[in-house]
């Protein structure tokens, strides 16, 4: 690592962010007729016409525009976009009777799926807290706290800890199996950690700090593998490991077998999730003012696993997933995993100082810049072969949205700046 290399990578990311990635969204995302955001675009950046506005895509978009504005980009345009999204979210997706946000509306704002999914509620807390921190509009924190309180009332498991995740509109728990009422997941609890972190940053309330610490404790003692420190995807209510299955409402487009069970269903871990977990924990510790040494092993292990097993040193980028012990199962390259390990490897290098993390960052950075970004359009390809040839070609839909890509570039620039000050 040299100062010149740091400057080069920073410039590449800054140019991509300001000339390609943010313009992709600011030029086409706002629905000026019905409110909220259009979130489905084909490989050319054209509206692909799906008649839906999902909670996950609307909230992630609000987070993206808010956080990029807070980081100093957009000259106010991104704050206006975030406000535009919040207006739609509060007007069309908030359940006035039972509280919480609906999972899906159509483009006009009519409710299509009225269920309460904790994964989506976590992003509501996350984006609305970030929105207030970015703009000063207190409606964000007000509604973020409402959702937080609903989760404590209806979703918190007072027997085994953590949160149930799948509810009907009135917050009654859904059934077992594909309905998801008998499962708990790494994904939802990791995103609750990031949501509670930003909520606590905005409120400084002891209850938010306490619940954040509870989720962190659960992640490091129950959810991450006891030996390898890697993420285990799904559990039964009592935190026994459960086979990873496809749920009716979410994750339906992921790569599962026809019977809805994932390959190696009880022994698979995502390199992207592990990198994401570690850097989100680092950020939470920063907000909590807790030293990293308090969680040294819990931070180091997922980074070691990702850099040892997940990095493709031959073709570049990071693989999708493998076993906890190290075998790689899926050698394709998925957009969000690249995005998260860029941030993670920079944090790992910054904290632990091992050159292998810088080399891993440089490897993934080069793969993203040279292969994963659809430069003529501005966004990233969603899924590629190991060699970097697009498999899926849409630029956006409800699950492939701007949250991972924009956040990755903004946060990577921030970390490169830290390294530049000490280089």
Residue 1 lies in a domain: no
Instruction: Tell me 230's DSSP state.
Output: P
Residue 243 — pLDDT band, cuts 50, 70, 90?
Answer: confident
With 50 as the cut, is the pLDDT of residue 256 above it? no
Is residue 277 domain-resident? no
Whether residue 335 is predicted with pLDDT greater than 60 in this model: the reply is yes
* Average pLDDT, integer, range 175-180: 93
Residue 335 placed within a domain: no
Using an 8 Å Cβ cutoff, are 24 and 17 in contact? Answer: no
264-303 per-position pLDDT tens digit: 556 889 999 999 999 999 999 999 999 999 999 999 999 9
Query: Is pLDDT of 261 > 90?
Result: no
Q: Residue 104: which of 247, 249, 245 has the closest Cα?
A: 249
The closest alpha carbon to 152, from 100, 91, 114, belongs to 100
Q: Tell me the average pLDDT across 185-203.
A: 97
Residue 60 phi/psi, 5-degree rounding, is: -65, -35
Residue 150: CATH number of its domain: 1.50.10.10
Query: 236: which 2 tokens?
Result: 């039964």
Residue 92 lies inside a defined structural domain of this protein: yes
Torsion of CA 381, 387, 389, 393, to 10 degrees: -30
Residues in the chain, how many? 423
The answer to whether the beta carbons of residues 151 and 171 sit under 8 Å apart is no
Average pLDDT on 4-9 reads 96
**Entry pTM:** 0.96
| Residue whose C-alpha is closest to residue 359's, from 322, 319, 326, 313 | 313
Q: Which of 273, 188, 196, 175 is nearest to 234 (CA)?
A: 188
pLDDT at 250 over 80: no
Over residues 3-8, the mean pLDDT reads 94
**Residue 244: predicted pLDDT:** 84
Task: Please name the residues in contact with 1: beta carbons below 8 A apart, sequence gap of 6 or more.
Answer: 349, 355, 358, 362, 419, 423
98 in any annotated domain = yes
Range of the domain at 97: 51-225+234-267
- Token reading at 112: 């299509």
Residue 386 scores a pLDDT above 80? yes
Q: Please indicate, yes or no, if residue 208 is contained in any of the structural domains.
A: yes
Please check whether residue 33 lies inside any domain of the structure.
no
Q: What is the mean pLDDT of the chain?
A: 95
Element (H, E) at 321: strand 321-322
Burial (CB count within 10 angstroms: exposed 0-12, middle 13-18, buried 19+), residue 256 = middle
pLDDT score of 262:
54
Residue 31 CB partners (closer than 8 Å, separation 6+): 37, 38, 88, 107
Determine the straight-line distance between the first and last CA of the chain, rounded to whole angstroms: 9
| Nearest in space to 160 (alpha carbons), one of 208, 219, 247, 218 | 218
What is the model's pLDDT at position 253? 46
Percent of the chain exceeding pLDDT 70 equals 96
Residue 421, classified by CB atoms within 10 Å of its CB into exposed (0-12), middle (13-18) or buried (19+), is exposed
Q: Taking Cα atoms as reference points, which of 48, 143, 150, 47 lies closest to residue 98?
A: 150
Query: Could you tell me where the DSSP H helices lie in 259-386?
Result: 271-288, 296-305, 335-352, 355-367
CA distance 124 to 288: 21
Predicted pLDDT at 249: 83
**Alpha-carbon distance 233 to 244, whole Å?**
7
Please state the rounded mean pLDDT for residues 374-383: 98
Q: How far is CA 51 from the centre of its chain?
A: 24
Total tally of structural domains belonging to the chain: 1
Supply the DSSP symbol for 292: G
Check pLDDT > 60 for residue 88.
Answer: yes
pLDDT digits (tens, 9 = 90+) for 40-75: 999 999 999 999 999 999 999 999 999 999 999 999
Among 171-185, 244-258, 358-372, the least confident range: 244-258
Least confident of 236-250, 268-282, 320-334, 361-375: 236-250
Q: b/e per residue, 288-325, with b = 16+ CB within 10 A?
A: beeebeebeebbbbbbbbbbebbbbeebbbbbbbbebe
In this predicted structure, the answer to whether residue 252 has a pLDDT above a threshold of 50 is: no
Span 91-121, pLDDT tens digits: 999 999 999 999 999 999 999 999 999 999 9
* Structure tokens belonging to residue 275: 């990198």
Q: Say which residues have a Cβ less than 8 Å from residue 20's Cβ, sequence separation at least 6.
A: 373, 375, 378, 379
């Amino acid at each position: 690592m040299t100062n010149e290399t740091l400057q080069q990578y920073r410039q590449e990311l800054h140019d991509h962010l300001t000339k390609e990635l943010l313009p992709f969204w600011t030029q086409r995302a706002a629905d000026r007729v019905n409110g909220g955001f259009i979130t489905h675009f084909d490989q050319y950046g054209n509206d692909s016409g799906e008649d839906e506005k999902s909670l996950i895509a609307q909230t992630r978009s609000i987070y993206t525009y808010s956080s990029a504005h807070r980081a100093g980009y957009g000259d106010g345009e991104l704050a206006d976009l975030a406000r535009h999204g919040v207006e739609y979210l509060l007007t069309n997706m908030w359940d006035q009777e039972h509280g919480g946000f609906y999972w899906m509306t159509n483009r006009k704002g009519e409710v299509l799926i009225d269920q309460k999914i904790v994964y989506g509620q976590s992003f509501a807390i996350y984006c609305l807290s970030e929105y207030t921190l970015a703009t000063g509009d207190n409606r964000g924190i007000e509604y973020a706290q409402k959702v937080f309180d609903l989760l404590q009332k209806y979703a918190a498991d007072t027997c085994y800890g953590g949160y149930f995740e799948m509810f009907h509109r009135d917050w009654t728990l859904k059934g077992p199996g594909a309905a998801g009422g008998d499962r708990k997941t790494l994904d939802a609890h990791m995103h609750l950690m990031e949501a509670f972190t930003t909520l606590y940053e905005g409120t400084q309330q002891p209850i938010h700090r306490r619940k954040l610490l509870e989720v962190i404790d659960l992640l490091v003692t129950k959810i991450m593998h006891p030996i390898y420190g890697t993420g285990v995807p799904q559990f039964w209510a009592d935190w026994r490991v459960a086979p990873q299955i496809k749920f009716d409402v979410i994750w339906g487009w992921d790569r599962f077998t026809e019977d809805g069970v994932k390959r190696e269903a009880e022994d698979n871990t995502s390199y992207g999730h592990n990198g994401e977990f570690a850097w989100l924990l680092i950020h939470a510790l920063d907000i909590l003012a807790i030293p990293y040494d308090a969680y040294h092993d819990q931070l180091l292990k997922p980074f070691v696993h990702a850099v040892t097993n997940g990095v493709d040193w031959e073709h570049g980028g990071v693989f999708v997933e493998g076993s906890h012990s190290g075998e790689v199962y899926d050698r394709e390259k998925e957009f969000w995993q690249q995005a998260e390990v860029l941030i993670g490897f920079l944090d790992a290098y910054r904290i632990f100082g091992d050159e292998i993390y810088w080399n891993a960052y440089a490897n993934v950075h080069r793969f993203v810049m040279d292969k994963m970004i659809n430069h003529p359009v501005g966004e990233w390809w969603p899924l590629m072969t190991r060699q970097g040839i697009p498999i899926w070609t849409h630029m956006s839909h409800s699950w492939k949205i701007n949250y991972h890509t924009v956040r990755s570039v903004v946060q990577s620039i921030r970390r490169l700046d830290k390294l530049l000050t000490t280089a």
